[in-house]
Chain A
Amino acid sequence: EPEVTQTPSHQVTQMGQEVILRCVPISNHLYFYWYRQILGQKVEFLVSFYNNEISEKSEIFDDQFSVERPDGSNFTLKIRSTKLEDSAMYFCASNLAGANTGELFFGEGSRLTVL
């Protein structure tokens, strides 16, 4: 069964360092998303991506964050200068028809720990 895959599963970094989280969405999907979940809290939307551009982003997704689909398969989230409060589980998701319709498939997550 097709699945969304994410790497790394866990990354530890020093405050101020750049981090890139990678995702391979399901191959025929058109909409891609990043969410985050701080330990013990609810899942929060970061950004959605369609047709090679950001379609929507939340207040969390400030200038420190960027997304890219460099090669037609990978979908990356970059955090330029990590802060302690960026420590969270980051989930990539994808679907075929947009978040408002149809099932959204999540990856297993990348746990980011900022020291």
Chain B
Amino acid sequence: KNQVEQSPQSLIILEGKNCTLQCNYTVSPFSNLRWYKQDTGRGPVSLTIMTFSENTKSNGRYTATLDADTKQSSLHITASQLSDSASYICVVSAYTGGGNKLTFGTGTQLKVEL
């Protein structure tokens, strides 16, 4: 069964600090891995998409890494801001030749405080 596990479940950091969120997956056959940011009560917004051949991708202060061998990914947030407070969701896509096989993680709830 395809699964995506994220850790930690929640995290509180001070503004300006860095943090790293983890994602482990057992999705096969692997197509790509995405990180989304979801503000409370809003729709998810894409941060990065990585395919099998990519092991790092950046989007501003967000940097995602992927180790397809160990089936792990991380999202590193640099110099956190109050507006980074949100749920960060790891989503893994299984290649099926068509259709939708996205498996969502439960997310890491990040709170950035002064």
What is A's interface to B at a CB cutoff of 8 Å? 4, 33, 41-45, 48, 55-56, 89, 91, 93, 98-109, 111
Contacts and interface: CB of A to CB of B under 8 A. Distances in A.
A56 to B, nearest CB: 4
26 contacts: A43-B44, A43-B89, A43-B104, A44-B104, A45-B102, A48-B99, A56-B99, A56-B100, A91-B43, A91-B44, A98-B98, A98-B99, A99-B93, A99-B100, A99-B102, A100-B31, A100-B32, A100-B94, A100-B96, A100-B98, A100-B99, A102-B49, A104-B46, A105-B46, A106-B43, A108-B43
Contacts of B104: 42-44
Contacts of B32: 100-101
A49 to B, nearest CB: 10
Contacts of A44: 104
A42 B42 contact: no
Interface in B100-114: 100-102, 104-107
Contacts of B46: 103-105
Contacts, number: 62
B43 A107 contact: yes
B45 interface: yes
A49 B104 CA distance: 19
Interface of B: 31-32, 34, 41-46, 49, 89, 93-96, 98-102, 104-107
Given A108-B42, A109-B43, A103 B102 contact: no
Given A43-B44, A109-B42, A109-B43, A103 B49 contact: yes
A48 B105 CA distance: 19
Nearest to B102: A99
A108 B40 CA distance: 10
A4 B94 CA distance: 24
Given A56-B100, A100-B93, 20 more contacts: A42-B104, A43-B104, A45-B102, A48-B100, A55-B98, A91-B43, A98-B99, A99-B93, A99-B100, A99-B101, A99-B102, A100-B31, A100-B96, A100-B99, A100-B101, A104-B102, A106-B43, A108-B42, A108-B43, A109-B43
